Chains A and B, each alone.
Chain A
């Protein structure tokens, strides 16, 4: 069974640009969550999607958004990039919300210059 796939693995963007990251969950998993990891703040929850609906949202500005498609694949978008957005962005999938046995992808390393 394939694991959680995140693309791209690495990305370099300049300030002010926008970026879209993609996540394909494990087959059969319908819940997708996104996390940001930085050396200073650690792992922080961004948002969670289930059945194409955002179920939960972390404490991030509106520049961070996401969506989920009918096949459970998810994308997250960051607009007007700032240097502080440089981080490892992780996607996790699980069978359904509340099932905290979440399975994480390898992440997308975003560098903003």
Chain B
């Protein structure tokens, strides 16, 4: 699975959009980009995933660049409860390969 690079920490004001970047310059054509987050003392929570098109769900939007070498997770109206460590993961989506490789992630702090 391709390696990802994320900033170790970010701050965002409550109510503003939080934009979390992720670089995955060695991504292969069949690898998806997944985002998870982990709120303190809880298990990771799935947020969103995509292959090459931008994706949106009730939690966030995922913007993937045309060359697929980077992506941005957008939390449109951040709240204090969005404070967490956010993980960007790149992996193939094939039978028998559930393994997720977590990096260090980005520690996002939402400030009041």
Question: Chain A residues in contact with chain B, CB under 8 A?
Answer: 4, 31, 33, 35, 42-45, 48, 50, 55-56, 58, 90, 92, 94, 96-107
Contacts and interface: CB of A to CB of B under 8 A. Distances in A.
Interface of B: 32, 34, 42-46, 49, 87, 89, 91, 93-104
Contact of A101 (B49, B96, B101): B49
Given A97-B95, A100-B49, 4 more contacts: A99-B98, A102-B100, A105-B43, A106-B43
A18 to B, nearest CB: 24
A81 to B, nearest CB: 22
Given A42-B104, A100-B49, A100-B91, A94 B98 contact: yes
A101 B42 contact: no
B46 A56 contact: no
A100 B96 contact: no
Contacts of B44: 43, 90, 92, 104
Contacts of B45: 104
Question: Which of B42, B87, B98, B99: most chain A CB closer than 10 A?
Answer: B98
A55 B98 CA distance: 9
